Amino acid sequence: MPNENPEQPPVYSGASSQWRVPGPQAVSGPPAPGPVAGPPTSPPTTPHWTAGPPRSTTLPPTQTGSYPPVPPSGPPPFAQTLNGGPIPQPTPVPDATYAVTSKSGSIRSALIGALVGAVVAGLLVAAGLWDRPVATTTGAITNVTTQSRPTATIPGKSLDLRSILDKVGPSVVSIHTGSSRGEAAGSGVIINKDGLILTNAHVIEGASAINVEFIDGRSAQATLVGAVEARDVALIKVEGVSGLKAADLGSSSDLQVGDDVVAIGNALNLGDTPSVTTGIVSALGRSLQSPTGYLLTALIQTDAAINPGNSGGPLVNSAGQVVGINTAILADAQNIGFSLSIDSIKSIIEDVAAGREVNLERPLLGVESLDVAYLDSQVISRFEIDVTSGAFIQRVTADSGAEKAGLQAGDVVTEVDGRSIRSASDLTKRIGEKKPGDKVEISFERSGKSKTATATLGGQ
CB 435 within 8 A of CB 363: yes
Q: Which of 171, 232, 339, 443 is catalytic?
A: 232
Number of domains, the chain: 1
Q: DSSP letters of 173-184?
A: EEEEEEETTEEE
Between CA 248 and CA 321 the distance in angstroms is 5
Report the pLDDT value the prediction gives residue 341, as an integer from 0 to 100: 94
| Interacting residues of 122 by C-beta distance below 8 A, sequence separation 6+ | 45, 47, 141, 330, 331, 332, 333, 336
**Residue 388 forms part of a structural domain:** yes
Q: Which of 248, 240, 201 is nearest to 221 (CA)?
A: 240
- Distance of alpha carbon 379 from the chain centroid: 33
H/E segment holding residue 429? helix 424-432
Query: Exposed, middle or buried: residue 82 (CB in 10 Å: 0-12, 13-18, 19+)?
Result: middle
H/E segment holding residue 427? helix 424-432
Between CA 233 and CA 325 the distance in angstroms is 9
> Per-residue confidence of the chain (460 residues) as pLDDT tens digits?
333 333 333 233 333 333 333 333 333 333 334 433 344 433 333 333 323 333 333 333 333 333 333 333 333 333 334 444 555 544 433 332 211 112 222 222 222 222 322 222 233 455 543 322 222 222 333 333 233 333 344 443 468 899 999 999 999 999 999 866 678 889 999 999 999 999 999 999 888 899 999 999 999 999 999 999 889 999 999 999 999 999 999 999 889 899 999 999 987 777 667 889 999 999 988 888 776 677 888 899 999 988 888 899 999 999 999 999 999 887 676 778 999 999 989 989 998 998 888 877 778 899 999 999 889 999 999 999 999 999 999 999 999 999 999 999 999 999 999 999 999 888 988 888 788 899 999 999 999 999 999 999 998 7
Annotated catalytic, 176?
Answer: no
Between CA 269 and CA 131 the distance in angstroms is 11
**Residue 438 forms part of a structural domain:** yes
Task: Kindly give the residue spans of alpha helices, DSSP state H, lying in 122-255.
Answer: 161-168, 201-204
**Residue 19 forms part of a structural domain:** no
**Residue 434 forms part of a structural domain:** yes
Report the pLDDT value the prediction gives residue 10, as an integer from 0 to 100: 29
CATH of the domain at 408: 2.30.42.10
CB 187 within 8 A of CB 311: yes
Q: Which of 287, 311, 318, 344 is catalytic?
A: 311
**Residue 297 forms part of a structural domain:** no
CB 145 within 8 A of CB 88: no
Three-state secondary-structure class, residue 142: coil
Report the pLDDT value the prediction gives residue 141, as an integer from 0 to 100: 31
Annotated catalytic, 202?
Answer: yes
**Residue 442 forms part of a structural domain:** yes
Q: Which of 179, 202, 339, 351 is catalytic?
A: 202
The residue type found at 275 is: S
Report the pLDDT value the prediction gives residue 306, as an integer from 0 to 100: 87
Between CA 430 and CA 145 the distance in angstroms is 13
Between CA 177 and CA 159 the distance in angstroms is 34
CB 47 within 8 A of CB 141: yes
Q: Which of 358, 431, 433 is nearest to 397 (CA)?
A: 431
**Residue 112 forms part of a structural domain:** no
H/E segment holding residue 349? helix 342-354
Sign of the Cα torsion 435, 141, 279, 269 reads: positive
What are the phi and psi torsion angles at 237 (to 5°)?
-140, 140
pTM: 0.60
Q: How far is CA 201 from each of CA 44, 70, 211, rounded to the nearest angstrom? A: 29, 19, 15
**Residue 41 forms part of a structural domain:** no
Query: Exposed, middle or buried: residue 5 (CB in 10 Å: 0-12, 13-18, 19+)?
Result: exposed
Between CA 125 and CA 108 the distance in angstroms is 13
Domain holding 434, by residue range, is 363-459
Count CA atoms within 13 Å of residue 141 on its CB side: 31
Annotated catalytic, 102?
Answer: no
H/E segment holding residue 100? strand 98-103
| Interacting residues of 400 by C-beta distance below 8 A, sequence separation 6+ | 364, 365, 366, 367, 458
